[in-house]
Amino acid sequence: QAQLAESGGGSAQAGGSLRLTCTVSGLRSDYINSAYCMGWFRQFPGQEREEVAHLDTDKSTFYDDSVKGRFSISKDSASKTLFLQMNSLNPDDTAKYYCAAHLVCGRLQEASFWGQGIQVTVSS
């Protein structure tokens, strides 16, 4: 069965950058390249998960308005890795971040596969 695991989180100062990495096991690289929509969510304390960004198999992207121009999603299918480059961080970005995969981007909230989540904390 497929497993996703996030890394690269931690602490940053406001205005700084972090890059999150999601490594995938149990899926062929061609599935990652051509079959699965992959994306990132974040969860603030006491709230539901919210979609941050996703990358479809046709290379189209989605970004939540709160991160447009600051975050960038990408993947390396050969290494089965998904990235989220986070620049110009602010304290409102403090949350637990999850990567996810689903065959349909519109249903990513009900992802077939979720990572365990990783904390990002941004100080002012």
Q: pLDDT value at position 19?
A: 98
62-49-10-73 Cα dihedral, nearest 10 degrees: -10
Give residue-wise pLDDT tens across range 60-81: 999 999 999 999 999 999 999 9
The predicted structure's pLDDT at residue 12: 98
Helix (H, G, I), strand (E, B) or coil at 8: coil
Residue 111: which pLDDT band, with cuts at 50, 70 and 90? confident
CA angle 119, 120, 122 (to 5 degrees): 145
Measure Cα distances from 106 to 8, 54, 90 in Å: 26, 10, 28
- Mean pLDDT computed over 13-19: 98
Task: Tell me the average pLDDT across 6-13.
Answer: 97
pLDDT confidence of residue 1: 82
Report d(CA 121, CA 77) in Å as an integer.
28
* pLDDT tens column, 17-59: 999 999 999 988 899 999 999 999 999 999 999 999 999 999 9
pLDDT at 112 over 90: no
- At 109, give phi and psi (nearest 5°): -60, -30
